Structure 1
Amino acid sequence: MSKKETTGQAMTRSLVAHGIDTVFGIPGAHMYDFNDALYGARDKVRFIHTRHEQGAGYMAYGYAKSTGRIGAYTVVPGPGVLNSGAALCTAYGANAPVLCITGNIMSHLIGQGRGQLHELPDQLATMRGLTKTAERINHPSEAGPVMAEVVNKMLSGRQGPGAVEAPWDVFGQSGPEVDLPVGSKAPHPAVNSDQIAAAAALISVASNPMIMVGGGAADAGAEIAALAELLQSPVTSHRSGKGIVADDHPNYLNFVAAYEYWKKTDVLIGIGSRLELQFMRWKWLPKDLKIIRIDIDPTEMVRLKPGVGIVADAKAGTQALIDALAGAPRDDRTREFADLNRDARSRFSEVQPQLAYLDAIREALPRDGFFVEEVSQMGFTARFAFPVYAPRQYVTCGYQDNLGFGFNTALGVKVANPDKAVVSVSGDGGFMFGVQELATTVQHRINVVAIVFNNSAYGNVLRDQKQAYHGRYLGSDLTNPDFVALAESFGIRAFQVTSPVELKETIEKALSLDEPVLIEVPIEKGSEASPWPFIHPAPHAE
């Protein structure tokens, strides 16, 4: 007689087969049979329960973004899915493989509008609007194939989030235990030699090429550095591309410095990047600029049409370009790049007190540590003022800029990288979005160092209302708890510091403790210099 298993057990076995070793989430009635299956596999899959569904989604995001592997979470349908929706749209915007596993109402009632517990008019359609792919398991026999299909779509081409739902009654249904298919990445598109030749022809006559990298190039750092050295061109990045070529590489240009080089750029080589920096933030194109793009997503070549579009994996496409260009060496320009970086740092040194505090964090954080930004004055400034030395070590929210993502995301980063230092930098406004997850850090011993810069305001809104709306403040002033006492009430070691020197010393102490730590840094309300002139610079005069 063949062995039986439930849909929930088959789904759990599929998670293990796909190398998923952690699931974040909150159990609930619709999910009990799946939750029980996770309990049965607890020697293979760690379950970390959170205090809010958004926290579960963001922790899965941090896990995925810092590793490139699938980060999984489970929540109840309806409000649970919707509460985690901000994390799904962050994962979609930042191309992170986050898997949401949820339930639905009883299968015979879906679409009936009877007002069942957690019912949505069309949950599957809702999830498909937030993810790269979403599917339903209607019967135990579909569990393996649907899980494999969703994983395949999440990991293939431009990566992104996926979702799987099963009706309440289906999770507990039994069927024969069978071999499960395992989804994997689809093969990368073959590099088109004609496109490579066309790109090489443009580059060969270029005097001042520039390479722009984004998150899609995370695994191509060595090839991109080699291309930059071959061309004696600078490499720059905005936020998702930080660390792919280390900040201290001789060809790396901080993006504030890169804007000065932009004046004379004649060929822009975008690799795994939407080119948001150049086209949405700098908003100024040098005369007769030629654009080459290497991107695995063919739709990118339609969204922003280049002169030459190479649809390929960043690593393979860059290597093919190197092979086509190998020839006469160019003059070394790294001293020029160093001067540009030095000048840029001199100019943005006025962004205080943020820069002094970010320098203190960088000095205290090991070279291979992770820095998780937040939508805050420190986070915005860090995008150009915080050096990063390897891919995935600067964790950002991409274009969604979701306020409140940072602390929760950092917990997922630490779970995925337990032996690395993880520092989360939040403002008081964003931190309070996920403050309840302090309980999760204690219960599961997730040893993140959380730094809260407390200016008693939504700082960006406050500045904009002051400057553009003549001080007509609405909803930008905040009343906060005593953050040190609050953390201590959760059983977390907490400190308050008032200077960069103190912050550096306290981070070093916190990392040596190897336990969850909160550090509050009071900042005078409205005192921060604006980082935006360096992110959205004024156009160059012709």
Structure 2
Amino acid sequence: MALATASEAFVDILRQEKAYTIFGIVGSAFMDPLDLFPAAGLRFVSVRHEQNAALMAEGFARASGRVGVCIGQNGPGVTNLVTGVAQAYANHTPVVVITPSVTSASLGTHAIQEVDQMSMFAGITTDQFQVNRPDKIAWALRNAFRAATLTNGPVQIDIPRDYFYGELDYQELTPTEYRVARVGARASEEDLARAIQVLRSASNPVIVAGLGVVNSGCRAEVAQLAERLAAPVATVFQHNDAFSTEHPLGVGPIGYGGSKAAMRVIADADVVLALGTRLNAFGTNPHYGVDYWPHAAKFIHNDIDPHQIGRNRPVAAGLPGDAREVVQQLLAALGPAEEDLQLKLSKRIDVLRSVKETWAEELDELSGGHQLPMAPKRALREVTRVIPRDAIVASDVGNISGTIGAFVDFAQPRQFLGPGTLGSIGVAYSTALGAKLARPERPVIAISGDGAWSMTIQEVMTAVTEGIPVVGVVMNNSQYGAEKRNQYDYFDERYYGTNLDNPDFSAVARAMGAFGVKVDDPDDIGDAIESAFRADSPSVVEITVDSKVLAEPYRRDAFQKPVRHLPQYRS
């Protein structure tokens, strides 16, 4: 034991946890520990809005598999963190959220910058710790890291700001002395036997791989299982990196903006084996005008959270557990392959090759043409054509960037950082900045629409100040295109609130100190993207796209034709 201030203990635990990068905006509430960051070898990334601090922490964690950390000034700084923390919660991302509060004597007095910071985060964190005395800071911070690691989600530690000045007997501990690594759970023998029975009876099984496959790093094992079953492998919406279409059995993502090949294949399935996914209802909504989900198929569901199994659709067998562990169990239980497996596998691959080639031709047609202003899918095609193979790609929600799923494939997991099921707009660039700090050796690119970009443009200044060479691509059609599509479909083209008057985003980027270029011709996109990567500095490539070309709506299932009864509104 050694006498230490609470600030010293706090900073030393961050150092012990190797949490060397912390995202936030400087605030008086945590200035005492912040003063110690340089001595501890910690980097404080000063952002321009705390929402982006949480998003960067999430991007850091998703790209690296390690815990991200963010912090905000009590009150308004903490309220600004909420959207990014909710994003981490929806995406099962381990983040420690540090929320200094008003002084302990001021709690409950409606002091300046006082809000109830615990209840605010109760529904979007997997655990919470509120420090009630200075000598509990070390215990609480260690437990925050322990909980974030074990629950794979954001965890809050709330600290009255005066407690940083307290003193305690501090015992230096390594993380292994207070937490263990997340251990993969296995399915029960009874559940496994039920799943094997269903799989043995299948004539046309299809595997759907999700985030659990990425997090457990079991793409190779999933490939073995697919080959053992002669089963195509689709990926879940926004998780293209769970399996590659370069594998002969890989067919791409289902869901919005996904692969028609995957949808056509899964439509014919008699058994669907979902691995490492909640299989969110939005990710199986009809798309391209096709209700592709095989409602009569038997469903085998694996998720690490048993609460998710059977939640949204009935199961023929449920396999709670870590995806890697469960896949290994299935492989062992299936035993030796049947004599005719190679023949069956060869025939299946031949069929899939034809299905994939047909979709590739359709996609080329959808993304072809040379009209000006260029079609959004042509722009996406040209951008994704030159993205380096090892690049990490972050995408936004939106009429253009949201349809990227059809155009990207990944050799490795943790390369695709979609916005996730929160569906928040303006998240891609900040997520990408965090990813780049986690994986500085990898090229990183963010793809956003102009509406999303307008919400995160200020972080170009952060990228310049901190020297983070991320390429930001802005698809500019001067509108909130996803919402405009809804007005087109349901409100007789009354475009209210969806048109945007934008500046020259590339010029703004240059004014901030970044490399900036504007592209109007699709033939110039490749050179512009490659130049942005070569610049090895924060870069913004603005691409002008046709505002009249709108993608499929996100939520046709959630809309109805409007009804107006009052006479003043009928017209």
Alignment TM class, shorter chain as reference: over 0.9
Q: For the structure 1 residues 230 and 508, does the alpha-carbon distance in structure 2 shift closer, same or farther, using more than 3 Å as the test?
A: same
TM-score (norm: length of structure 1): 0.93
| Superposed counterparts of 1:444-523, under 5 Å | 444-523=466-545
* Alpha-carbon separation, structure 1, partners of 2:349 and 2:477: 40
Residue aligning to 2:231: 233
Q: Which amino acid aligns with 2:298?
A: K
Q: Which amino acid aligns with 1:168?
A: R
Match of 2:352 among 328, 334, 337: 337
Moved more, 452-461 or 13-22: 13-22
Q: For the structure 1 residues 534 and 508, does the alpha-carbon distance in structure 2 shift closer, same or farther, using more than 3 Å as the test?
A: farther
| Superposed counterparts of 1:200-239, under 5 Å | 200-218=196-214, 219-239=217-237
Matched, 1:272 2:276: yes
Residue aligning to 1:317: 326
Residue aligning to 1:539: none
Q: Which amino acid aligns with 2:218?
A: A
> SS at 2:277's partner residue?
coil
Structure 2 contact 56–433 (Cα < 8 Å) conserved: yes
Number of residues of Structure 1 aligned to a counterpart in Structure 2: 528
- CA shift, 1:193, in A, is 2.1
Matched, 1:102 2:99: yes
Q: Give a deviation string over 1:174-227, Cα, whole Å, max 9, x none.
A: 112213354344433243222222211110110111111111211111111111
Q: For the structure 1 residues 533 and 93, does the alpha-carbon distance in structure 2 shift closer, same or farther, using more than 3 Å as the test?
A: closer
Match of 1:49 among 39, 43, 46: 46
Q: Which amino acid aligns with 1:247?
A: T
Moved more, 101-110 or 198-207: 101-110
The alignment-based identity, stated in percent, is: 29
Residue aligning to 2:379: 357
Matched, 1:248 2:246: yes
Residue aligning to 2:395: 373
Residue aligning to 2:80: 83
Q: Give a deviation string over 1:144-191, Cα, whole Å, max 9, x none.
A: 32222222222225x111111100110121112213354344433243
* Alpha-carbon separation, structure 1, partners of 2:8 and 2:240: 40
Residue aligning to 2:117: 123
Structure 2 contact 23–46 (Cα < 8 Å) conserved: yes
Residue aligning to 2:316: 307
Matched, 1:139 2:133: yes
Structure 1 contact 378–425 (Cα < 8 Å) conserved: no
Q: Give a deviation string over 1:99-130, Cα, whole Å, max 9, x none.
A: 211201111332x2x2212101x211211222
> SS at 2:447's partner residue?
strand
Residue aligning to 2:305: 297
Structure 2 contact 99–117 (Cα < 8 Å) conserved: no
* Alpha-carbon separation, structure 1, partners of 2:296 and 2:507: 59
- CA shift, 1:264, in A, is 2.1
* Alpha-carbon separation, structure 2, partners of 1:281 and 1:252: 21
* Alpha-carbon separation, structure 2, partners of 1:23 and 1:279: 33
* Alpha-carbon separation, structure 2, partners of 1:466 and 1:288: 34
Structure 2 contact 205–232 (Cα < 8 Å) conserved: yes
- CA shift, 1:534, in A, is 12
* Alpha-carbon separation, structure 2, partners of 1:251 and 1:535: 31
Q: Which amino acid aligns with 2:320?
A: V
> SS at 1:90's partner residue?
helix
Structure 1 contact 238–277 (Cα < 8 Å) conserved: no
* Alpha-carbon separation, structure 2, partners of 1:534 and 1:383: 17
Unaligned runs of 5+ in 2: 255-259, 368-374, 558-571
TM-score (norm: length of structure 2): 0.88
* Alpha-carbon separation, structure 2, partners of 1:376 and 1:499: 22
Moved more, 314-323 or 283-292: 283-292
Residue aligning to 1:26: 25
Residue aligning to 1:72: 69
Unaligned runs of 5+ in 1: 537-542
Residue aligning to 1:540: none
Matched, 1:179 2:162: no
| Superposed counterparts of 1:147-162, under 5 Å | 147-157=141-151, 159-162=152-155
Match of 1:166 among 135, 159, 163: 159
Structure 2 contact 399–449 (Cα < 8 Å) conserved: yes
Q: For the structure 1 residues 516 and 186, does the alpha-carbon distance in structure 2 shift closer, same or farther, using more than 3 Å as the test?
A: closer
> SS at 1:425's partner residue?
strand
- CA shift, 1:347, in A, is 3.2
Q: For the structure 1 residues 455 and 95, does the alpha-carbon distance in structure 2 shift closer, same or farther, using more than 3 Å as the test?
A: same
* Alpha-carbon separation, structure 2, partners of 1:535 and 1:383: 19
Q: For the structure 1 residues 507 and 103, does the alpha-carbon distance in structure 2 shift closer, same or farther, using more than 3 Å as the test?
A: same
- CA shift, 1:238, in A, is 2.8
> SS at 1:471's partner residue?
coil
Q: Give a deviation string over 1:419-477, Cα, whole Å, max 9, x none.
A: 11111111111001011111111111100111111111001111221221011111101
RMSD of the alignment, in Å?
2.1
* Alpha-carbon separation, structure 1, partners of 2:456 and 2:437: 17
Q: For the structure 1 residues 284 and 363, does the alpha-carbon distance in structure 2 shift closer, same or farther, using more than 3 Å as the test?
A: closer
- CA shift, 1:92, in A, is 0.7
